[in-house]
Amino acid sequence: MKVRVAFQGERGAYSEVAALQYFNITELIPKRTIADVFYSAEMREVDYAIVPIENSIEGSVNETYDNLLTTSLKIQGEIYLRIEHCLIGYEHSSINSIRYVYSHPQALGQCRGFIQRHGFEPIPYYDTAGSVKMLKEKRPDASAAIASRLAAEIYGLSILAEGIEDNKNNYTRFLILAYPEKGEEGVRRVEEGEGRVANSISPNSKTSIIFTLEHRAGALYNVLREFASRGINLTMIVSRPIKDRPWEYNFYLDFEGHELDDRIKECLEGVKDKVVFLKVLGSYPKAILQ
């Protein structure tokens, strides 16, 4: 039985590459936006959604954070994907013939040095693989795209240069989301070799939460003290503006441990007393950076 997985972008997007690495047997469903990916899973059109959450060079993917605030989906897993960018163009093209380069703004930012050294004019596009598809269909002059090797293979264009990212420690972290009952299915599918989603407690679990604070001095310190006093390791904290309350923020926090662990349950009970709003996004197996 195939797992249906929605990802953002055209065929060949890095989200598709991550899904292919995470799941063994999949039917991959491309969606134009991250919001579309969430909606597809929420409407049960697919079994899972895979979305980028942060890049080690360019930082947070804000659209994902904003959708996590309102979704009913739970995080079931994560994967780190090493991002290796390619300059992709027409057959028989040379780098010296390129004037314009298309890609997603994050990819353009990750290849900023390469672009500047060659004097290219960067042109933002909604998706890395989408820029390759556009190149194939519209064939603009003196143009190339930045995307994955898979995108070049899918659309039959040539790789003019590989590994053009400025920093070789370039990773994107992706989240795998589904309704809670999918975590139980994931345990079975792991045993059957279909994927790596699970919802059982393990010593290598990670938990993600969102919380909102009262707008007063020491509010964030009081929350973080709940974790520090119990020796719980925080792995990420990000703030996002609350859209109808200027200069106030939602905080997204990742930490080691499972929400069903006694120590974590005690910590979250302490946090509840110190926040206006708390949402547990899920507990899931911690990915290994390779």
Measured between alpha carbons, how far is 14 from 23 in angstroms, rounded to an integer? 14
Give the CATH architecture of domain 205-285: 2-Layer Sandwich (3.30)
pLDDT, tens digit (0-9, with 9 covering 90-100), for 218-272: 999 999 999 999 999 999 999 999 888 888 899 999 999 999 999 999 999 999 9
pLDDT of 197 over the 90 cut: no
CA angle 95–55–137, rounded 5-degree value:
40
E strand or H helix at 191, and its extent? helix 181-191
β-pairing, 74-82 with 171-178? antiparallel
- Give the integer Cα–Cα distance in Å for 175 and 50: 6
What local confidence, expressed as pLDDT, does residue 136 receive? Answer: 94
Please answer whether residues 5 and 23 qualify as being in contact, where contact means their C-beta atoms are separated by less than 8 angstroms. yes
State mean pLDDT over 93-120.
94
Say what the pTM is: 0.88
CATH architecture of 3-82+170-191: 3-Layer(aba) Sandwich (3.40)
- Report which of 161, 159, 56, 47 is spatially closest to residue 106, judged by C-alpha positions: 56
Look up residue 179 and give its two tokens: 């309704």
Asked whether 198 and 182 are in contact (CB, 8 A), the reply is: no
Domain range annotation of the chain: 3-82+170-191, 86-162, 205-285
pLDDT at residue 201, rounded to an integer: 62
Amino acid at 220: L
| Per-residue pLDDT reduced to its tens digit, 140-152 | 999 999 999 999 9
User: What pairs with residue 239 in β-bridges?
Assistant: 251
pLDDT value for 230: 95
Please state whether beta strands 234-241 and 158-162 pair in parallel, antiparallel, or not at all (unpaired): unpaired
Per the residue annotation, which of 64, 71, 172, 212 is the catalytic one?
172
> Which residue is associated with the tokens 């079975």?
188
- 283 burial level (CB within 10 Å; 0-12, 13-18, 19+): buried
Backbone angles phi, psi at 196, to 5 degrees: -130, 25
Q: Is residue 51 predicted with pLDDT exceeding 50?
A: yes
Q: Which amino acid is at 111?
A: C
Nearest to 80 by CA among 174, 204, 14, 167: 174
Amino acid letter, residue 94: S
Q: Is 33 a catalytic residue?
A: no
The class of domain 86-162 in CATH terms is alpha beta
* Spatial separation of the C-alpha atoms in residues 102 and 122, rounded to whole Å: 6
Q: Of residues 23, 114, 174, 251, which has the active-site annotation?
A: 174
Decide whether 3-82+170-191 matches 86-162 in CATH topology.
yes
Per-residue confidence (pLDDT) for residue 239, from 0 to 100: 94
Active site residue 235: no
